[in-house]
Amino acid sequence: MAKEKTVYVCTNCGQDSPKWVGKCPSCGAWNTYVEEVVRKESANKRPVSGLEPVKSKPVTLNDITGGDEPRIDMQDEELNRVLGGGLVPGSLVLLGGEPGIGKSTLVLQTVLHLPDRKVLYISGEESARQLKLRADRIPHNSSDCLIVCETSLEQIYVHIKNTQPDLVIIDSIQTISTETIDSSPGSLVQVRECSASILKFAKETNTPVILIGHINKEGSIAGPKVLEHIVDTVLQFEGDQHYMYRILRSIKNRFGSTAELGIYEMRQNGLRQVSNPSELLLSQDHDGMSGVAIASAIEGVRPFLIETQALVSSAVYGNPQRSATGFDLRRMNMLLAVLEKRVGFKLAQKDVFLNIAGGLKVNDPAIDLSVISAILSSNMDTEIERDTCMAGEVGLSGEIRPVNRIEQRIGEAEKLGFKRILIPKHNLQGMDTSKLKIEIIPVRKVEEAFRALFG
């Protein structure tokens, strides 16, 4: 038997090297090289001479038809939106997430509600019985979904050929292996080769395929970044195990925006779409509590109101502690420095804990103002009135900077019955406030916001 050929591959970027190296010359990551067995390359590949018969032919863009292909309606508003308006035929979608977050549930639930489509669900992780048990928890009518437990890529193609499905689900890509490669399932080379082969299948037959992928402890999809390069769309399902809420994010989408967000709630009987996130993100009863401020935030295209909670207390042990959940800790430290330096609050000897309600991670800079307000409110132990909300980015000199789509933020606050909203003064320019029922309080600096909130 010929000697196995191995290479070392960077798990971060997919770069390979004949020898192990500590630092990847391509992406600069340390200690990411792992040994992989590779398929023997066919030895006598001749270089292209230009005389071979060709199958494909270059055409001009104008000659290509079928610009807007009808998308497959997944019967799930959140999923459709995150996909950019439905599933594109022939696309390869990767759904990543931590174990137990609900990836299989989301996909199974979706396919169970898909009418008139033949779905082939390939499970490499669970037995058909386990799948049945799961499906029984989710209310559904009888469905055409075919289940097969299989891990060999070659066998999967046989099943696909026999059943001719309209949609293929593979749960999960890390359990699938091809016979052409010696390495074990889940290894980098297997994952890469199988995905590339499945991509080819999807494109050639115009069948959409959804791959479920695991996430490694660093939070990226296991199997390297290369996998993300291969597929058309990467969705990430995230959330805290301890909260019921799950967020579906699009990280890469060749057919739509990546700013979209889908919110679900994990119930006893499957996932429920949350179409009005504000209601869930505002906890109901904290009248008279200090340290709570409500921000009018935007994720994707949807505005929602979200509660920021802070707890400030005197540090008992030497170094004060700083911790933030759902918010960038460095950004919180910066905001604390702004409060200290520009507004004169002495927070250096205080522990500061910050929490965004619902286990949500918010990237919108417009929640800065509410973070600051929650911290000040807790520090002084004075509550912020319950019917006041705010939006604004805080700059290094303590100025409140304008935020995007202010009308939408104000509109959402008004819809939910808030009486007052603090907004950056710059945002007032050219805005017609005459029709608004909500009181607008423009602020230019952190001090002004402070006075408006606490008198």
> From Mg ion, ligand TYD, none, which one binds at residue 269 (CB under 5 to 8 Å depending on kind)?
ligand TYD
Binding to ligand TYD by residue 97, rule CB under 6 A?
yes
Tell me which stretch binds ligand TYD (CB under 6 A): 95-103, 201-209, 375-383, 411-419. 95-103
Residues touching ligand TYD: how many (CB under 6 A)?
16
Binding to ligand TYD by residue 5, rule CB under 6 A?
no
Instruction: Quote the DSSP letter at residue 332.
Output: H
Closer residue to Mg ion in complex, CB, 104/187: 104
Q: Which of 11, 12, 15, 104 binds Mg ion (CB under 5 A)?
A: 104
DSSP string, 47-96: PP-S-S--S-----GGG---SSPPPBP-S-HHHHHHTTSSBPTT-EEEEE
Tell me which stretch binds ligand TYD (CB under 6 A): 46-54, 268-276, 301-309, 335-343. 268-276
The Cα 455–Cα 452 span in angstroms is 6
Binding to ligand TYD by residue 268, rule CB under 6 A?
yes
Residues in Cβ contact with 242 at an 8 Å cutoff, skipping those fewer than 6 apart: 359
The Cα 167–Cα 207 span in angstroms is 6
The Cα 172–Cα 109 span in angstroms is 16
Q: Which of 101, 120, 170, 227 binds ligand TYD (CB under 6 A)?
A: 101
Tell me which stretch binds ligand TYD (CB under 6 A): 130-138, 185-193, 308-316, 386-394. 130-138
Binding to Mg ion by residue 174, rule CB under 5 A?
no
Closer residue to ligand TYD in complex, CB, 28/139: 139
> From ligand TYD, Mg ion, none, which one binds at residue 451 (CB under 5 to 8 Å depending on kind)?
none
Tell me which stretch binds Mg ion (CB under 5 A): 28-36, 97-105, 242-250, 374-382. 97-105
> From ligand TYD, Mg ion, none, which one binds at residue 97 (CB under 5 to 8 Å depending on kind)?
ligand TYD
Closer residue to Mg ion in complex, CB, 91/104: 104
Tell me the angle at which helices 329-342 and 368-380 cross, rounded to the nearest 10 degrees.
60
The strand order across the sheet containing 233-238 reads 146-149, 119-123, 167-171, 209-214, 92-97, 233-238, 245-253, 261-267, 270-273
The Cα 228–Cα 233 span in angstroms is 8
Residues in Cβ contact with 18 at an 8 Å cutoff, skipping those fewer than 6 apart: 7, 8
Binding to ligand TYD by residue 134, rule CB under 6 A?
yes
Furthest C-alpha separation in the chain: 83
Give the shortest CB-237-to-ligand TYD separation in angstroms. Answer: 7
CA 451 to chain centroid: 37
Binding to ligand TYD by residue 239, rule CB under 6 A?
no
Query: Within a 10 A sphere around the Cβ of 111, how many other Cβ atoms?
Result: 23
Give the shortest CB-171-to-ligand TYD separation in angstroms. Answer: 7
DSSP string, 150-219: --BHHHHHHHHHHH--SEEEEE-GGG-B-TT--SPTTSHHHHHHHHHHHHHHHHHHT--EEEEEEB-TTS
Closer residue to ligand TYD in complex, CB, 106/410: 106
Closer residue to Mg ion in complex, CB, 221/413: 221
Classify the phi-psi angles of 239: left when phi > 0, otherwise alpha if psi is within -120 to 50, otherwise beta. Answer: left
In this structure, are strands 209-214 and 146-149 parallel, antiparallel, or unpaired? unpaired
Contact 120/146 with Cβ under 8 angstroms? yes
> From Mg ion, ligand TYD, none, which one binds at residue 190 (CB under 5 to 8 Å depending on kind)?
none
Give the shortest CB-114-to-ligand TYD separation in angstroms. Answer: 17
Q: Which of 91, 104, 110, 388 binds ligand TYD (CB under 6 A)?
A: 104
- Locate 101 and state its tokens: 């977050």
Amino acid identity for residue 342 in this structure: R
Tell me which stretch binds ligand TYD (CB under 6 A): 30-38, 145-153, 260-268, 314-322. 260-268
Closer residue to ligand TYD in complex, CB, 97/300: 97
Binding to Mg ion by residue 110, rule CB under 5 A?
no
Q: Which of 137, 229, 341, 415 binds ligand TYD (CB under 6 A)?
A: 137
Query: Within a 10 A sphere around the Cβ of 6, how many other Cβ atoms?
Result: 14
Give the shortest CB-233-to-ligand TYD separation in angstroms. Answer: 18
Positions that interact with Mg ion (CB under 5 A):
104
Positions that interact with ligand TYD (CB under 6 A):
97, 99-105, 134, 137-138, 266-270
